[in-house]
């Protein structure tokens, strides 16, 4: 087993010290969230809290607990300008006069939390942008394109706790080592095969899909004798972290398109703390991420809880799906 710790790895990549400390704070928050998730059944916190988040979704108690932990641990970082959380309506400003060099962290403290009571993998997703100029602390100031991310990643709370990160130099996977408490490098240089025969989509929404997505899936399902000329496998975890982790490990494509049921909102998944960080990770691993019509990282945000269609994974398959959209 490699003994490279998260810090040693970030130092080897010559990561700026402020960014390294911020990433370590995020890793600490994730370790603490992992502990709460693991003890959730004993503490009786796997159920719904009596609240809704800004998207009108019922919050799980652990959603709220995870968000509080993240705020406590990461919110104290001295280089942090603001936190933007899936669970909190307003931008959480940590500085009254953010300066060039300060960071904005966008995060989903517990993604896939509908899987908690059935004991499937969930995770924490984060995206980090560094300000290149002083800003006034207004919500519009955090509407920054995904191309400006300096780092992104997620923690996955599964059979083991993993941490997958990029600081723009490829993607590396770590596993929490319970004895030492460290995240140790276990999956260096993760890369996504360009081609695949596996897709992930919530097929119960078939009736609501727009023609490009329906035609693409129909053609995949026709197998060897259909237009794609190969048999496809299907997976759907209903937990984006788990689906993306599989794609980073063995390839595949993930789709959560806009459809007749969610088009008014722009899709289901959120741009700034779900699509952008996963998009950066996938691109850094040699894959592609698209709305169907263009690169996710190029979407100009209009709100910090904005939703977008998400198609990501093996780059040749993403290009095929974009082709169905252009037809
Ligand atoms: P959440 O942030 O409220 O957990 O929602 C995001 C999750 C993703 O992890 C997952 O891909 C998707 O919602 C599953 O949606 P569905 O329940 O429609 O399958
Ligand atoms: Mg989420």
pLDDT digits (tens, 9 = 90+) for 99-113: 999 999 999 999 998
Counting ligand 1 atoms within 8 A of each CB, the residue from 60, 238, 244, 305 with the most, and so the one to mutate, is 238
Residue nearest to ligand 1 atom 12, measured at CA? 238
Is it the case that residue 48 has pLDDT exceeding 70? Answer: no
pLDDT at 58: 67
111 lines ligand 1 (CB under 6 A): yes
- Distances in whole angstroms, Cα of residue 18 to Cα of each of 15, 79, 98, 226: 8, 7, 15, 53
Within a domain: 180: yes
Do 86 and 148 lie in a common domain?
yes
113 lines ligand 1 (CB under 6 A): yes
Do 215 and 155 lie in a common domain?
no
pLDDT at 2: 54
Q: Can you point out the beta strands (E) in the chain? A: 48-52, 58-60, 80-85, 92-93, 103-111, 122-130, 149-157, 161-166, 172-176, 183-187, 198-200, 233-234, 253-256, 269-270, 288-290, 307-308, 310-313
Cβ burial 208-219 (10 Å sphere, 16+ → b, else e): ebbebbbebbeb
Within a domain: 243: yes
**Residue showing tokens 């319970």:** 178
pLDDT tier, 46 (very low <50, low <70, confident <90, very high otherwise): confident
Residue 148 burial (CB count, 10 A):
15
238 lines ligand 1 (CB under 6 A): yes
Distance from C-alpha of 253 to C-alpha of 136, rounded to nearest angstrom: 39
Do 169 and 203 lie in a common domain?
no
Mean pLDDT of 252-263: 98
Mean pLDDT of 50-59: 69
Within a domain: 210: yes
**Ligand 1 nearest-atom number relative to CA 111:** 4
How many domains does the structure of the chain reveal?
2
Give the pair of three-digit tokens for residue 5: 């710790």
Within a domain: 1: no
Do 270 and 134 lie in a common domain?
no
Looking up residue 145, the CATH number of its domain turns out to be: 3.30.540.10
CA 16–ligand 2 middle distance (angstroms): 28
CA 306–ligand 2 middle distance (angstroms): 12
Mean pLDDT of 156-164: 97
Q: Helix, strand, or coil here: 130?
A: strand
Range of the domain at 313: 198-326
239 lines ligand 1 (CB under 6 A): yes
112 lines ligand 1 (CB under 6 A): yes
Is it the case that residue 165 has pLDDT exceeding 90? Answer: yes
pLDDT in tens, 177-199: 999 999 999 999 999 999 999 99
Instruction: Using the 3D structure, point to which of 165, 187, 209 is the last residue of a domain.
Output: 187
- Start-to-end Cα distance in the chain: 49
Is it the case that residue 174 has pLDDT exceeding 80? Answer: yes
Q: Helix, strand, or coil here: 309?
A: coil
- Mean pLDDT of all residues belonging to the chain: 95
**Ligand 1 nearest-atom number relative to CA 114:** 4
């Amino acid at each position: 087993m490699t003994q490279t710790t998260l810090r040693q790895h970030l130092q080897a990549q010559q990561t700026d010290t402020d960014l390294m400390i911020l990433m370590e704070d995020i890793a600490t928050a994730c370790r603490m969230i992992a502990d709460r998730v693991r003890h959730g059944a004993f503490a009786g916190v796997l159920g719904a809290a009596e609240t809704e988040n800004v998207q009108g979704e019922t919050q799980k108690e652990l959603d709220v607990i995870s968000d509080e932990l993240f705020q406590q641990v990461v919110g104290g970082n001295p280089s942090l300008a603001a936190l933007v959380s899936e669970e909190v309506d307003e931008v959480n400003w940590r500085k009254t006069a953010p300066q060039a060099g300060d960071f904005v962290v966008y995060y989903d403290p517990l993604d896939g939390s509908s899987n908690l009571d059935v004991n499937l993998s969930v995770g924490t997703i984060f995206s980090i942008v560094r300000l290149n100029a002083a800003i006034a602390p207004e919500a519009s100031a955090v509407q920054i394109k995904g191309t400006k991310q300096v780092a992104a990643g997620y923690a996955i709370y599964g059979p083991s706790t993993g941490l997958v990160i990029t600081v723009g130099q490829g993607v590396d996977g770590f596993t929490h080592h319970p004895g030492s408490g460290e995240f140790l490098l276990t999956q260096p240089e993760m890369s996504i095969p360009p081609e695949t025969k596996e897709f992930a989509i919530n097929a119960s929404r078939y009736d609501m899909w727009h023609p490009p997505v329906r035609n693409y899936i129909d053609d995949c399902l026709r197998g060897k004798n259909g237009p794609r000329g190969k048999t496809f496998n299907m997976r759907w975890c209903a937990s984006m972290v788990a689906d993306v982790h599989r794609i980073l490990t063995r390839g595949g494509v993930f789709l959560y398109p806009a459809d007749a049921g969610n088009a008014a909102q722009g899709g289901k998944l959120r741009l700034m703390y779900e699509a952008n960080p996963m998009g950066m990770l996938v691109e850094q691993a040699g894959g592609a991420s698209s709305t169907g019509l263009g690169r996710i990282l190029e979407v100009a945000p209009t709100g910090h809880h904005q939703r977008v269609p998400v198609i990501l994974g093996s780059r040749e398959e993403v290009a095929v799906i974009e082709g169905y959209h252009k037809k």
